[in-house]
Amino acid sequence: MCVPAGVHVYRSVSDTTCPTSHIKPLIVSPRLNHPQTDMAFVPAPGYQPAFNPPVPYTTKIAGDLRVGMVIYIGAVVPSSKHNRFTVNFSTGQYEGADIAFHMNGRYDGRDRVVFNSMQGGEWGQEEMKREMPFKPGKLFHLVYEITSNNYQVSVNGSPFYEFPHRIPLEQVQWLQVSGDITLQYLGILGCGPGVKGGLVMKVAQGELPPMLGPPMLNPAVPLSTCIRGGMIPKRTVDVKGVVNSSAKSFTINFKVGYNNDIALHMNIRSSKSVVVRNSFINGAWGEEEKEIPKNPFKQGEFFDISVRSGEKQFKVYVNGTHCFNYEHRLWNLQQVDTLDVEGDVKLCFVHS
């Protein structure tokens, strides 16, 4: 179902109930089978963002821009002076096409973000915010939510700006990113034409199957949500957030809802640069695992975790890079139907 205008998405919508009624449902569907190497990044089912696309980057918004769409971007601005980058929502990909929403980050000693539109070759009334949330050299998570009144922009889970519509949404067909910026991922979630009661993501690869539920944007912590159908092989859960600046630790648990067994417990101890993995089965903790090549979780910084369930193990990726594998200790993966997140963390995006 399309997200109503002006309403933030916090949980999936379903007319069925989770086995554990106190838990908000997060619906999971099997991902598409794409060829990949064993260590390749595996995105969540039905949401296949473009990873590491070249800049300048242009993609068609299939079906045109609509209320309820969510566009999300993970990127890094280089650590150098006089950088500029631009994100445009435009009516065409040709030079001189109208631009419904132009966002321009400028680093020139008077760091600021400029917002505008262009119609008939003429720029409109410029709007500006003298605040720069995009720190050079640091990965950031940028989200555009399309409402009936405006583009709602958030950065790393915090509201940043609202820009009113100056051009009808149905005329907006293209998304363009250019300038001094490195894209790590870019995805478009929205109601596809002819799809009733679902979300479809459109990227350069073309149309993908309907999503059974939207992502959860900026959910409160602690979070407990149901993974309908369990963490069966080839399913992926994606969690994006920001580690609190004074964080000691936070945990992510993949649990059995009815008895609280934990198939995969991840305890990220930012203050000690340690990521502890374990399982809790039949009332007892197992043997801890701690070895990773490098701890990617830093206080005050954004992270993107993807956990994929395989036949023999969970594979965990952080910021698009393989971090560790965890051999299954609890083998009935269909019963692993609950995701819990708690601790010193701010969540931006949870999806599967």
- Fold agreement between 1-46+211-352 and 48-208: yes
The domain segmentation of the chain, as residue ranges, is: 1-46+211-352, 48-208
CB atoms within 10 A of CB 96: 9
For the residues 133-147, what does the mean pLDDT come to? 91
Cβ–Cβ under 8 Å, residues 140 and 156:
yes
pLDDT above 70 covers what percent of the chain? Answer: 79
Sequence-separated (6 or more) residues with CB below 8 Å from residue 299 = 243, 244, 245, 246, 247, 270, 271
For the residues 21-46, what does the mean pLDDT come to? 38
CB atoms within 10 A of CB 306: 23
> Residue 109's pLDDT is what?
84
The pLDDT of residue 121 is above 60: yes
> Residue 156's pLDDT is what?
87
CATH code of the domain occupying 1-46+211-352: 2.60.120.200
Strands (E), 124-215: 127-129, 140-146, 150-155, 158-164, 174-179, 182-190, 200-203, 206-207
For the residues 63-74, what does the mean pLDDT come to? 90
In the sheet with 216-217, reading across from the earlier edge strand, the strands are 216-217, 345-351, 235-243, 302-309, 313-318, 321-327
Top mean-pLDDT range of 214-218, 299-303, 344-348: 344-348
For the residues 54-73, what does the mean pLDDT come to? 92
Read off the pTM. 0.67
CB atoms within 10 A of CB 38: 8
Does domain 48-208 correspond to CATH entry 2.60.120.200?
yes
For the residues 39-59, what does the mean pLDDT come to? 67
The pLDDT of residue 203 is above 50: no
Cβ–Cβ under 8 Å, residues 324 and 292:
yes
Rounded CA separation 300/280 (Å) = 29
> Residue 86's pLDDT is what?
98
